[in-house]
């Protein structure tokens, strides 16, 4: 029975890699289309890498665009042996693992356009395998209609996969996860976040259904983000807005370096550092105890993100 299980796992891993690779193509094409709409010519450049110990990936990075100052859409499929210390922190048995996913972070040039992140992944660790993912929106200026659109797309996505995702739960999970406790702030206005959706090995079609769910999520990312970009990318901005954007980008850096699971997983499994830290914005600043004046657009954002996260 073990060889058959191994063959089945190997075949499924190959399918996961195919799906994830196609999502990278779809997402990059959609974002490059937005760059063209904004009058830019920048494109995603591929940068492939090999991991010592097994596997590798391809980072596609867009730099110095007209609409997007920096963006990365990374795929990886890595496998091998993890440290015993890290293995005990994950569900599953032994030290062998396989992980495949697509992860993206887009930092716009115009401060009126929000930063966005999404990730869809499959992980195997010994006798456990599971799926995770999500997307969240991080604006510098708050517009309720942008938040409403973003959430509506992901609510519809969850409803299409209601057997696996409850929108209310994964929306609340997102708000709790993307929270900086040392600041008392959410990273942005949320979205969805889910993890540890385990494959039920007693159901022959369960893994396929979860993979289809991941594929659907990646294919609807641009739908969630593009209308917001189009609505804001021509808004005039100046030094005030740019300075605020850089300050808020600092919160993004703090979260990714202190709390982000993907960053921790990549670094502790020997992933490529440059690709893992691709998510960091290109230009950031930290002030000292800076607070915007009451009644300003900057203060309106803080009022939104300083709401406490929902209880578990």
Query: Which residues are the active-site residues?
Result: 117
Pair of tokens at residue 311: 């209880």
Within 10 angstroms of residue 10's Cβ, the number of other Cβ atoms is 10
Residue 204 and residue 211 in contact, taking contact as beta carbons nearer than 8 Å: no
Q: What is the DSSP string of the chain?
A: -HHHHHHHHHHHHHHHHHHHHHHHHHHHHHHHHHHHHTT-----EEEEEE-TTSEEEEEEEEES-SSEEEEEEEEEEEEEE--HHHHTTSSSSSSEEEEEEEEEEEEESSTTSPEEEEEEEEEEETTEEEEEEEEEEE-SS--HHHHHHHHHHHHHHHHHTTTT--HHHHHHHHHHHTEETTTTEESSSEEEEEEEEE--TTSTTHHHHHHHHHHHHHHTHHHHHHHHHHHHTT----HHHHHHHHHHHHHHHHHHHHT-HHHHHHHHTT--HHHHGGGS-SS----SS--PPTTSHHHHHHHHHTSPPPP-
């Amino acid at each position: 029975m073990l060889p058959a299980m191994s063959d089945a796992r190997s075949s499924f891993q190959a399918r996961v890699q195919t799906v994830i690779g196609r999502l990278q193509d779809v997402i990059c094409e959609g974002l490059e289309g937005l760059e063209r709409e904004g009058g830019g010519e920048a494109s995603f450049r591929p940068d492939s890498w090999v991991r010592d110990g097994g596997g590798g990936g391809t980072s596609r990075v867009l730099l110095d665009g007209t609409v997007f100052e920096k963006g990365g859409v990374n795929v990886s499929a890595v496998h091998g042996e993890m440290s015993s210390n890290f293995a005990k922190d994950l569900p599953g048995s032994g030290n062998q693992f396989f992980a495949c996913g697509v992860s993206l972070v887009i930092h716009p040039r115009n401060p009126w356009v929000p930063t966005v992140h999404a990730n869809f992944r499959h992980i195997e660790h010994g006798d456990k395998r599971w799926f995770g993912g999500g997307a969240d929106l991080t604006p510098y200026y708050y517009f309720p209609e942008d938040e409403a659109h973003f959430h509506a797309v992901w609510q519809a996505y969850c409803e299409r996969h209601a057997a696996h995702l409850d929108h209310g739960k994964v929306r609340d999970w997102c708000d709790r996860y993307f929270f900086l406790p040392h600041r008392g702030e959410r990273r942005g206005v949320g979205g969805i976040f889910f993890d540890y959706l385990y494959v039920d090995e007693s159901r022959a079609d369960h893994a396929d259904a979860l993979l289809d769910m991941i594929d659907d999520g990646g294919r609807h990312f641009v739908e969630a983000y593009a209308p917001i970009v189009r609505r804001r990318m021509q808004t005039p901005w100046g030094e005030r807005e740019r300075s605020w954007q850089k300050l808020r980008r600092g919160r993004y850096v703090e979260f990714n370096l202190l709390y982000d699971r993907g960053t921790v997983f990549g670094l502790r499994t020997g992933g490529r550092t440059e690709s893992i830290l691709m998510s960091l914005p290109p230009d950031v600043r930290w002030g000292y105890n800076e607070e915007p004046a009451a009644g300003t657009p900057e203060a309106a954002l803080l009022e939104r993100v300083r709401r406490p996260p929902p209880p578990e």
